Each structure stands twice: as structure tokens, then as C-alpha cells.
Amino acid sequence: MTDKKRVFNARFALVITLILLVASAAGCAAPGVSQAAGAPAYIVIEAESGRVIAEERADAKMYPASTTKILTALVVLERMPLELEFTVPDCAVGVEGSSIYLRRGEKVSVGDMLYGLMLRSGNDAAVALAVATAGSVERFAAMMNERARRAGAASSNFVNPHGLHDDGHYTTARDLALITAEAYRHPEFARIVATKKVTTGEGENARVMYNKNKLLSSLEGANGVKTGYTTRSGKCLVGGAIVDGVQRISVLLGASGDMWSVTRELLMRKV
């Protein structure tokens, strides 16, 4: 190797080292909630009034992962009685990701599937409910988009009931907060998402379900809502809590850090 090449390689290595040091330092300098959590978007609102308490990049388009299921539950609750029983369709068996392990031909109720949807994040429960409600996932997605628009969610598009990644399936923190506020207007939704443990079905169809939402046991007044994660979406968490007698909703999308502590801080944020 010539002396010129050695000098060039040394200078190149120095430049790369400096770039990495600057990038590392920038990642550690986290003055705000968003940077501290690695979260590009969040919002906190009062459910009844819609008043915004805090926000950052709340209108950025994001992948919602399983927080999608809040809208799925809302559409189902407005169209289907909880006690209605139906047969699990073949297309709901073995859906990838989170599952409550539905069996082909199994008889289930809408209410039990909503628990499986919101407590255990069952993607199979999401497909089963979608087909029972609309006849197909595609028709159910159309219902989701229509309901989202009526909630004021103007920057979202949904193509499935579970939130498994699709480039055309997206929302914003603001839109998801508006959708969640609509869902909270239904007592059945509020009751389901605040449930820590439930047993559904009987005999061989009995299932004991524990809620994945750690807020329910780590924050006074917490009463919801839903977690979500894919490699493309990052960590997502929609939180709900009664603060000073008022229902608050927080939405945190795209987090890479501790979404639980950040969400607790957001929900308790002083006005």
C-alpha cells in the first residue's frame, strides 16, 4: 500500500468515527418525551371535550400495529350483539402473530371474541369478528374506514382488522385518539378494556385471559386501552386513565424505549 493510500484510509476512518460519535451523542440528548422514548409521535387528549393536553408530531402518518383493534372493537360493538354466537371461519384459524388459538368449527360469542381481541390481542379473534360482522375482511375494512372518518380521523387508512403490517394501513396519533374517544362512549368497550382477567367459554372451549396492558396494575385510575408492536411500527401504546375525574387518552406510536413509563407520564401530564 502506498503512503497516499495509507493517508486516505486514515482520514476516511477518522471521518466515519466522527460521524458515529455525533450520531451517538444526538441519540443520547433527549430533552423531550418523544426523543427519550424513541417515539416519533404522541398525543394526550380529554376524551369528552377533545381538548389536547400535549402533542408532538401528532399528525405524522404512522403504522398502528395492534392498536388497530380499538377501531375493530368499535365497529363490531356498533353492529353486533355481544351474546350472538357464530362459528369460527376457516380463514381465522392459524392467523400469524398474537393468537387465542381458535379452532376450526368452534362456536364462539361476539363478547368472548372481543375479550380475546382486546386483552390478548388475538389476530385470529380479529379476523373471526370481521368475517362475522361483514362477511369478509375486505368489507369489514371498508366499514372501519367509514367509521374512522365519522370519528374525525381524516388521515388514516385501514386494510385489515388486526394491524399486521401493510404499507397501506396507517393512522396518526391524533386520529387514533379520536377513534379511541368514540370507543370509550360505549360502556361495553370501557368495561372490556379495563378488565384484568376473564374466563370465557365452557368446557373444552374455556379460555382464561389476562390483559397484556400493564397500565392497569401500574397506574392509579388506569382503565385501558391497547398495546401494539411490529418491527415496522415499533412499540405502540394507547393508554386510558381517569385523572381528576376526567377520562384521558394517550397515544404513543413508534416508540423504541420504555413505552409504559412514558405513557404514565403522558397521562398524568399537568395542564
Active-site residue set: 66, 69, 121
Cell for 119?
Answer: 386483552
Say how far apart CA 96 and CA 78 lie, in whole Å: 27
Tell me which residue of 75, 251, 80, 66 sits closest to 146, measured CA to CA.
Answer: 75
Say how far apart CA 271 and CA 267 lie, in whole Å: 11
Is 226 labelled as part of a ligand binding site?
yes
The helix, strand and coil proportions of the chain, stated in percent and rounded to the nearest 5, come to 45, 20, 35
Evaluate the omega torsion of the peptide bond into residue 225 and state whether it is cis, within 30 degrees of 0: yes
**How crowded is residue 97: how many other Cβ atoms within 10 Å of its Cβ?**
17
* Residue type at 166 in one-letter notation: D
DSSP labels, 170-189: BB-HHHHHHHHHHHHTSHHH
Burial 141-152 (b: 16+ CB within 10 A, else e): bebbbebbeebe
* Residue type at 265 in one-letter notation: E
Say how far apart CA 257 and CA 246 lie, in whole Å: 28
Report CA-CA distances (Å) from 52 to 130, 140, 247. 32, 30, 12
Q: Which residues does the annotation place in the binding site for substrate?
A: 226
